[in-house]
Amino acid sequence: MKIVRLVLRILLILITIVVIYPFVWSIFSSFKTNEEFLASPFSLPSGLYLDNFVRAFQKSNIAGNFLSSIIVLICTLFLVVLFTVPASYVLSRYRFAGRRLIKSFFMALIFVPVSLIMIPLFSQMSSMHLLNNRIALSFVYAAMLYPFSIFLLSGYMESIPKSYEEAAEIDGCSPLRTLVYIITPLAKSGIFTVVLLDAMNAFNEYAIALVLITDQAKQTIPVGIATLYEAQRYATDWGALFAALTIVIIPTVVFYIAGQRYLIEGVNVGGIKE
């Protein structure tokens, strides 16, 4: 049994290396000069060569990309929280005509990737004069995130005991007050999980952002990084490229370490509730 466990441990360590190495290698490469990178791509950096980061900011629009991503992220999360919480509550607690239909409508959309409709979306947004509009992009992201968010949160709310609301109703509390003062605090960790998962999805989305935002000054991080990579293919300033990648990887790692408990819980709940 000890031998088996040792073999398992070695296997897991090897997989850990396969998982982590690409990121560590990118971060190391961001501290190397281009000559150093070409001569020995796999060695440790000989020093902290920070000039790459300066050039990354100069050559790309990464600061502007971050700003765009944050604008889109904040609008998207606002739309998600504002509308997902009441909708999930109503779908999990109230019985009304069309409830099943609305539920299955959202359920069906969970499995259809939004990037499929990028061309009709482009043509529609173009005729609505909403191209290169980051707020409009947030609405598309909100639409893309509602199905899964509502599914996850209404599942979470179903597990809250009904006695709290019954007590509130006897006291003459209106449905809105019940939602704001009783349900929302009780569902806090569920809402937080939804926000984290949605933030991650909106921040990383590529296809729709690529199609709807063509103005380089307004591009989000994933599109901006891809544009930089495309340019460096010919300019071959790998140092600046890796610095830009590192600028994206490091905040993601920090965000992940801070929120991993809720992210993982969200994935768990989403799967089991089916």
Partner 1 sequence: MSRKNFQRNIFISFSIIPPLLITLVFLAIPAVRAFCLSFTDANMIGIGGTSFTGLENYRYMFSDQVFMKAFRNTVILLIVVPLITITVSLILSEILHRGNLREAGFYRVVFFFPSIISLTVVAIVWSFIFHPTMGLVNSMLDFLHLSQMKRSWLGTAETALGSIAFTLVWQAAGYYLVMILAAMTSINNDYYEAATIDGAGWFRQFVYITLPEVKNIIIITIILSMSGTLNLSFTLSTIMTNGGPNNASLVLLKYIYNQGMTNGNFGYSMAITVFTLLFSIILSIAVQKLQRREEAV
Q: Which is nearer to partner 1, 89 or 156 (CB)?
A: 89
Q: Which is nearer to partner 1, 21 or 188 (CB)?
A: 21
Contacts of 141 (CB under 8 A, 6+ apart): 72, 76, 79, 201, 202, 205, 208
Q: Which is nearer to partner 1, 49 or 83 (CB)?
A: 83
Residue 42 has φ and ψ, to the nearest 5°, of: -110, 0
Beta carbon of residue 90, minimum distance to partner 1 (angstroms, whole number): 4
Q: Which is nearer to partner 1, 49 or 175 (CB)?
A: 175
Beta carbon of residue 47, minimum distance to partner 1 (angstroms, whole number): 20
Interface characters, 220-239, with partner 1 (x: CB under 8 A):
-xxx-xx--x----------
Restricting to residues 164-223, which ones interact with partner 1 according to CB under 8 A?
174-176, 200, 203-204, 206-207, 211, 221-223
- The whole-angstrom separation of Cα 132 and Cα 54 is 28
- The whole-angstrom separation of Cα 81 and Cα 149 is 9
Out of 120, 170, 171, 234, point to the residue binding partner 1 (CB under 8 A). Answer: 120
> Which token pair is 48?
């902290």
Name the packing angle between helices 188-204 and 62-93 (round to 10°).
140
Restricting to residues 56-115, which ones interact with partner 1 according to CB under 8 A?
79, 82-84, 86-87, 89-91, 94, 96, 102, 105-106, 108-109, 111-115
Beta carbon of residue 87, minimum distance to partner 1 (angstroms, whole number): 5
Asked if 122 is part of the footprint of partner 1 (rule: CB under 8 A), the reply reads yes
Beta carbon of residue 28, minimum distance to partner 1 (angstroms, whole number): 12
Cα separation values, 67 from 6, 217, 218, 241, 254, Å: 48, 10, 9, 19, 18
> Which token pair is 216?
């380089």
Q: Which is nearer to partner 1, 5 or 129 (CB)?
A: 5
Beta carbon of residue 172, minimum distance to partner 1 (angstroms, whole number): 10
Out of 58, 119, 129, 234, point to the residue binding partner 1 (CB under 8 A). Answer: 119
> Which token pair is 116?
């499929």
Q: Exposed e or buried b for every residue in 81-96, given b needs 16+ CB within 10 A?
A: beebbebbbbbbbeee
Nearest alpha carbon to residue 155 among 201, 182, 191, 110? 191
Beta carbon of residue 108, minimum distance to partner 1 (angstroms, whole number): 8
